[in-house]
Structure 1
Amino acid sequence: MVQLGGVLRRVGLWRRTPPPWRAGYVVAKDPPGAAPWRRALAATGDPAAADALARAWDELTPRERAAVWDPVTELGRDGRQATGRTCGAAVLTMLAAQGDPLLALWLASGRLLAAERPPELAGAPDDVLRRLRQASTRTRFAVVHRVVHRRATRRAVAGLPWPEALGTPPWALARSARYLGVLFTHAVLDDSDPAALEAGLVRVGAAVDAGIPVPLLTGGDSSRGWGTAVPRHVVLAVAERDGGLDLWEPGRGAVVHADAAVLRGGAAHPALGNWAHLTWAVLPR
């Protein structure tokens, strides 16, 4: 049984990524009114947005606060992928919401607190945003992640569009990923090479331990046909626990735990979107 990543790496068409990255900053685990949170948001280049959130905090509903504090838990079910091809875009939207409380608040309530919109809403007509404020969280999430999908794939191959039917390729995910000021790269995960896979999982664990979620691509192998040996689905690693990872799976809209055996491949599992292998990781660089 063969995976595409392993073939590319063995014939020299794919190079392993550079040594492990170092995170510069993450969202502070303090209420938005506290100085560390404002400093973290200000590091993104928008201190006015940080101050707007701090001023509005006391006026937010309990659900809005929960969405700002923990988007995956509060918004995860409403963030399910809208189509079978938009898992990557749903993950990119949730990743951005994890690092941008103003986007998380808009997804939860339709409220915009600052004059400068989150990048995912750039270019949206005012009347559309007014209508979306009256819509459900699920509708807002679906609208945004379809926009994210178009933007991520429109110049994915030498400046040309990537076919929508093929989802979002890992290099486009890495280029479009937004989490504070972190830049992302991508790396093949090949469970036919245990040492290489272990090194990749160490990098994934280091990222989530530092507070940075990691998009992971999953798929099958050649035993089910070559069409399954390429990345087929995207999930979001949000925590490391008990030797495994908690993964937000956009098909279910839920966090599912993948233990060490699941991560090292072999059998289909719900945490991997019912695929059997990790194939690629989108990592901070």
Structure 2
Amino acid sequence: MAGLRLTDLLAGARLFSGGPDPLPPTPSDALPADVEQALEALPVQAATWVRDPLVRARPPRPWVPRALGLPGGHVARQTSPVTCGAAVLSMLALAGDSRLALRLARSADPAAAFSGLQERVHAAATRGPGGLPAWPRGFGTPPWGAAAQARFGPVRYTHRVVGRDGRPVLRHAVAAARQGLPVPLYSGGDVAGGVDRAVPRHVVLLTGARGSGTGEAVTLYEPSSGALHTLPAAVLIEASDEPRARAARTRALGGWPHVVWAVLPCERR
């Protein structure tokens, strides 16, 4: 039983499993003309942020975390213990929608605007048919709720459980990030630390992947600290137990050792 996770049982029963869908095309990085014009009136730092909220063009060096900022110098942190998923979905939406990013950058208090966006996303991701609660909000954002609300421009998302051998799903997630499509990932523990740790406990965002082969590196946004972490891709995919690799992966996953669920891009509408 040591090391067992709930998602191992789900994967064994082939629930929320199956082969990943083909990756959709990556949206263009070109900004609409009205956004480009509006950026001329913004301070340079704010305009730079609107163009690249996840700083994907300038990821941190491997093993050296760096804060992810908002306009005005605030750090992009989750605003409550249960809004990690909402913070990730908010940053995903901002990165894929320059008009949404522009509205936040123009707001009187970008940190408050980011907090408000998280609250709206969290409410939507836990709401069922007819607006009735479908999931206790105190439990955070369920993977299916995240998949329903995830937006990266026109790209939509589905979800897959990551079982004991999660390498196929994680390789697909890294391939998506390499193509320019960010991927929300759920992290958690196992029953060795208690049953309550063997379920999805936190959400991070795989923002990008660079390089190839053994030199490939991935970057993750961890919302409780508001930090970006860059790691060798193999540290994420192979889940190495080498002490330095395990410690860095655990930090990047918000204090949890395993990826247990992935919210994967699946189509454009």
**Fold match, TM over 0.5?**
yes
| 1:9-158 mapped onto 2 (5 Å cutoff) | 9-12=11-14, 14-28=15-29, 37-38=30-31, 50-73=32-55, 74-75=69-70, 78-110=75-107, 134-135=108-109, 137-155=110-128
Give the direction of change, closer, same or farther, for the CA distance of 1:24–1:263 in structure 2 (3 Å limit): closer
- Separation of aligned partners in 2, 1:252 and 1:275: 14
Larger radius of gyration: 1
Select the residue among 1, 5, 8 that pairs with 1:3: 5
By how many angstroms is 1:159 displaced?
6.1
Equivalent position SS for 1:71: coil
Select the residue among 147, 155, 164 that pairs with 1:182: 155
Q: Residue type of the partner of 1:75?
A: L
- Separation of aligned partners in 2, 1:66 and 1:7: 45
- Separation of aligned partners in 2, 1:94 and 1:19: 23
- Separation of aligned partners in 1, 2:39 and 2:117: 24
Where in structure 2 are there 5+ consecutive unaligned residues?
56-68
Contact 1:23 1:210 survives alignment (8 Å)? no
- Separation of aligned partners in 2, 1:99 and 1:27: 10
Contact 2:11 2:162 survives alignment (8 Å)? no
- Separation of aligned partners in 1, 2:236 and 2:181: 21
- Separation of aligned partners in 2, 1:6 and 1:212: 26
Contact 1:263 1:278 survives alignment (8 Å)? no
By how many angstroms is 1:64 displaced?
2.0
Per-residue Cα deviation, 1:173-194 (whole angstroms, up to 9, x for no partner): 000001111121001112x22x
2:235 matches 1:261: yes
Select the residue among 248, 253, 266 that pairs with 1:272: 253
Contact 2:20 2:172 survives alignment (8 Å)? no
- Separation of aligned partners in 2, 1:89 and 1:15: 21
Contact 2:79 2:115 survives alignment (8 Å)? yes
| TM-score, structure 1 normalization | 0.76
- In structure 2, the partner of 1:173 is 146
By how many angstroms is 1:263 displaced?
4.2
Where in structure 1 are there 5+ consecutive unaligned residues?
29-36, 39-49, 111-133
- In structure 2, the partner of 1:204 is 173
Q: Residue type of the partner of 1:253?
A: G
Contact 2:83 2:118 survives alignment (8 Å)? yes
Contact 1:177 1:184 survives alignment (8 Å)? yes
- In structure 1, the partner of 2:192 is 223
- Separation of aligned partners in 2, 1:238 and 1:215: 8
Per-residue Cα deviation, 1:59-103 (whole angstroms, up to 9, x for no partner): 222022111121124429532001110000000000000001111
| TM-score, structure 2 normalization | 0.81
Contact 2:174 2:209 survives alignment (8 Å)? yes
